[in-house]
Chains A and B, each alone.
Chain A
């Protein structure tokens, strides 16, 4: 079943056309990695899906609800609620610095979903256990390493029980020795059947975890297939891009 369908997504910043008609259909349980050179529009596309960028053309359907049609946004309550089915994890974590780890996770369940405080805290502790940070619930973000902060950010996004989780380069701001702990959490989620779209520069991660890889270049999807397809493609642009990651 389609949980997300984007078709003909177009986005320009002034004269610069960043997305030139991007199509994507996401089914339940998909783990999609989006790869591509810098400036190819990966972030813009991901951010468009969750309404952080306004698109100029195309259609987005979230779980059957058309939120944008022909570049015109539907302003109904149904559409606003549809976005709540999507969660997002940012490159720079964007944790709330003035809130403790536990408060970061419970804020949205309590004030958006109106879940009772104690229940939200209980659930937050379970999520912290899941990302391996049980002992950090009282810490403030500034007291955590980047890898720990990103795991809290993942727990915070999971607390709203999204249908799809979007990641924009979740490990790019981390020291190399800290990327592993974050990628392991994402891998576990994939094994549990979480639907995810991950923009990443980590090729080995894309290869191991993603069931599907999308290669974007110049504002369009150039290739879309299984890791097998992608890493053995004879598409020239894709081959050149992958050759730059000479570890493979």
Chain B
């Protein structure tokens, strides 16, 4: 009995692992793209600044203020931040359902691959969280680092890769570690769209009155998270050669 349960749960856990690794593979770079989007300074209407002749009027909202607001509008940044707000502000469970059901309901193009649907939802969700971690990391680098790079003649790309990136990585490793460990456990949410992950597998036993496999699944998660904790501890230690 123990052996059959173990094999069943293992095959379920394999689904969790697939979601886990593929989500990381895609969400880590996608998060960076979202970060660049939310930090984009592109302001297509900035030319309007030229028409801002300051009026001496006493009106609170004058043409000057309106023009300035439009001139400062950064559409890419705005849209990306709205997107991140929606993804972080709604449950992952709901997002899974939306990705799985909405294509069929609206576009008459039903999702047939449950794992793929789960993966899409996870990648989008985690990319949004990662992007905020990256952004925090990038924004925490003092302006002086960029200025020092500039006066030394480094190009913007060189400043990013040679000066900023390593410092950002050091700062984001702890929050990324937290988020990635959360991902391990979140993968079991995929059972809401009937992905045959480990909890789903255990539930098949409990439906027949065998409860203990359900608790046994905890061991899989604990082991996996334990390994990750050791790995992140190791990385943090490696990056500990300097302070700051």
Instruction: Name A residues whose Cβ lies closer than 8 Å to a Cβ of B.
Output: 50-52, 83-84, 86-88, 90, 92, 94-98, 107-108, 111-113, 140-142, 156-157, 160
Cβ–Cβ contact B151 & A52, under 8 A: yes
Query: Contacting chain A: which of B69-77, B87-95, B140-148, B175-183?
Result: B140-148
Tell me whether B209 is interfacial, beta carbon within 8 Å: no
> Pick the contact of B148 from A86, A96, A140 — CB < 8 Å?
A96
> Pick the contact of B166 from A50, A98, A156 — CB < 8 Å?
A98
Cβ–Cβ contact A108 & B147, under 8 A: no
A120 to chain B, nearest CB (A): 13
Identify the closest chain B residue to A112 (Cβ). Answer: B153
Query: Contacting chain A: which of B120-128, B219-227, B236-244?
Result: B236-244
Top 10 nearest A-B pairs by Cβ distance?
Answer: A94-B148, A108-B152, A94-B144, A97-B244, A112-B153, A142-B243, A88-B151, A140-B242, A98-B166, A84-B153
A84–B151 CA distance with the chains assembled, in angstroms? 7
Determine the chain A residues whose CB is within 8 A of the CB of B145 once the complex forms.
94, 96
Determine the chain A residues whose CB is within 8 A of the CB of B154 once the complex forms.
107-108, 111-112
Cβ–Cβ contact B244 & A142, under 8 A: yes
Tell me whether B162 is interfacial, beta carbon within 8 Å: yes
Identify the closest chain B residue to A139 (Cβ). Answer: B242
Cβ–Cβ contact B167 & A50, under 8 A: no
A113–B242 CA distance with the chains assembled, in angstroms? 27
Determine the chain B residues whose CB is within 8 A of the CB of A87 once the complex forms.
151
- Given A98-B170, A142-B242, the answer on whether A51 and B144 have CB atoms closer than 8 Å is no
A174 to chain B, nearest CB (A): 16
Instruction: Name B residues whose Cβ lies closer than 8 Å to a Cβ of A.
Output: 142, 144-145, 147-148, 150-154, 158, 162-163, 166-167, 170, 241-244
**Given A92-B144, A98-B167, A107-B154, 7 further pairs, Cβ under 8 A:** A52-B147, A96-B163, A108-B154, A111-B162, A112-B158, A113-B153, A142-B244
A112–B162 CA distance with the chains assembled, in angstroms? 12
Cβ–Cβ contact B153 & A160, under 8 A: yes
> Pick the contact of A86 from B147, B151, B163, B167 — CB < 8 Å?
B151
A111–B153 CA distance with the chains assembled, in angstroms? 9
A88 to chain B, nearest CB (A): 4
Determine the chain A residues whose CB is within 8 A of the CB of B151 once the complex forms.
50, 52, 83, 86-88, 157
Cβ–Cβ contact B150 & A140, under 8 A: no
A141–B154 CA distance with the chains assembled, in angstroms? 20
Determine the chain B residues whose CB is within 8 A of the CB of A111 once the complex forms.
154, 158, 162
Determine the chain B residues whose CB is within 8 A of the CB of A108 once the complex forms.
152-154
A15–B244 CA distance with the chains assembled, in angstroms? 37
Identify the closest chain B residue to A103 (Cβ). Answer: B162
Cβ–Cβ contact B243 & A112, under 8 A: no
> Pick the contact of A97 from B152, B162, B167 — CB < 8 Å?
B167
A157–B153 CA distance with the chains assembled, in angstroms? 10
- Given A87-B151, A97-B167, A111-B158, the answer on whether A140 and B241 have CB atoms closer than 8 Å is yes
Determine the chain A residues whose CB is within 8 A of the CB of B241 once the complex forms.
140
A95–B167 CA distance with the chains assembled, in angstroms? 12
Determine the chain A residues whose CB is within 8 A of the CB of B242 once the complex forms.
97-98, 140-142
Determine the chain B residues whose CB is within 8 A of the CB of A86 once the complex forms.
151
A140–B242 CA distance with the chains assembled, in angstroms? 7
A157–B152 CA distance with the chains assembled, in angstroms? 7
Q: List 27 A-B contacts (CB under 8 A).
A: A52-B147, A52-B150, A52-B151, A83-B151, A88-B151, A90-B148, A92-B144, A94-B144, A94-B145, A94-B147, A94-B148, A96-B163, A97-B243, A97-B244, A98-B166, A98-B167, A98-B170, A98-B242, A107-B152, A107-B162, A108-B153, A111-B154, A142-B242, A142-B243, A157-B151, A157-B152, A160-B152
